[in-house]
């Protein structure tokens, strides 16, 4: 069974540009989560999508946005990039929200560098 996949693996942008990161969950998983992990820091929760809807949002500015498609894949968009947006962006998927089935399976991440 294929795991969570993310693309691209690396992304280099300049300040003010926009970045689009993509995630494909494990087959059968309906929930997708996005996290930002800056160098040496923990997982900062960004966004959670389930069944195409945004279920929860972390403490990030509106220039961080995303969506989930009917096939449950997801995009994370970061507008007006700033230097401090440089980080590893991790996507995770799970079977369903709530209850005992919330084990999250992480993808390899997209490493975003803003110059």
Partner 1 sequence: GQQVMQIPQYQHVQEGEDFTTYCNSSTTLSNIQWYKQRPGGHPVFLIQLVKSGEVKKQKRLTFQFGEAKKNSSLHITATQTTDVGTYFCAGTGGGADGLTFGKGTHLIIQP
Which residues of this protein are in contact with partner 1, per CB under 8 A? 33, 35, 41-43, 45, 48, 55-56, 90, 92, 97-100, 102-109
Toward partner 1, which CB reaches closer, 79 or 86? 86
Sign (positive/negative) of CA torsion 38, 39, 43, 49? Answer: positive
Whole-number Å distance between alpha carbons of 43 and 11: 19
Give the single-character DSSP code of 105: E
Is there a contact between 76 and 34 (Cβ–Cβ < 8 Å)?
A: yes
Toward partner 1, which CB reaches closer, 17 or 101? 101
Least separation, in Å, of the C-beta of 80 and partner 1? 27
Cα–Cα distance list, 97 to 54, 64, 90, 92, 93 (Å):
12, 22, 18, 12, 10
Least separation, in Å, of the C-beta of 17 and partner 1? 25
Least separation, in Å, of the C-beta of 37 and partner 1? 9
Toward partner 1, which CB reaches closer, 65 or 104? 104
Residue tagged 């803003």 (tokens): 114
Least separation, in Å, of the C-beta of 48 and partner 1? 5
Toward partner 1, which CB reaches closer, 90 or 112? 90
């Amino acid at each position: 069974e294929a795991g969570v996949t993310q693309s691209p693996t690396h992304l280099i942008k300049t300040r003010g540009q926009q970045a689009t990161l993509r995630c494909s969950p494990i087959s059968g998983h309906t929930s997708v989560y996005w996290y930002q992990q800056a160098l040496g820091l923990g997982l900062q929760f960004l966004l959670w999508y389930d069944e195409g809807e945004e279920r929860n949002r972390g403490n990030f500015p509106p220039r961080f946005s995303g969506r989930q498609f009917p096939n449950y894949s997801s995009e994370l968009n970061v507008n007006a990039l700033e230097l401090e947006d440089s980080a590893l962006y991790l996507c995770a998927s799970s079977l369903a929200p709530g209850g005992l089935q919330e084990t999250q399976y992480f993808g390899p991440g997209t490493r975003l560098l803003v110059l």
